[in-house]
Copies of this chain bind each other. A is one copy, B any other.
């Protein structure tokens, strides 16, 4: 019994993405060609272009879906937890777990910066989505009267900065372990929460 076309399309697209991720980690994004992605995915060249226009389009898709995943894990948690202090801290643990569960995507995220302006713009878009999400949540806390009237966007930058730097220490420098990384991010946000919460 042949697969329904839609399901087959989805699986093929997924296979291309997975093969691309493997190659980007193994050889580096810059050193990987579309030809290699096609060969590894075992599809025809024409088929490839039904799904993606070029290598950058793959990276764009990977980062889009990664951002969706990180944000949706936090949204699920929000439906269960209403305490704003706990939310501020525990969502950072969820973020780090989402990164840690996707080691390869995290490695690509930590390594592709500075490669070219096009890539930097893609990364900026990925980070802007996270920053926008963090900012909204801090603004909500301020509006509810739980947080001090701080610059929400500055705090959002601080959150991403801390997450990104500790990811880099874990996956690129390998000077801290996964658990240690998560605990450090939580510790830093516990301290930040002290400055954020109204007395």
Contacts and interface: CB of A to CB of B under 8 A. Distances in A.
Interface of A is mostly: helix
B166 A161 contact: yes
Interface stretch (A34-42, A53-61, A95-103, A110-118): A110-118
A110 B169 CA distance: 15
Contacts of A114: 110-114, 172
How many copies of this chain? Answer: 2
A129 to B, nearest CB: 14
A109 to B, nearest CB: 11
Contact of A120 (B161, B162, B173, B184): B173
Nearest to A196: B191
A194 interface: yes
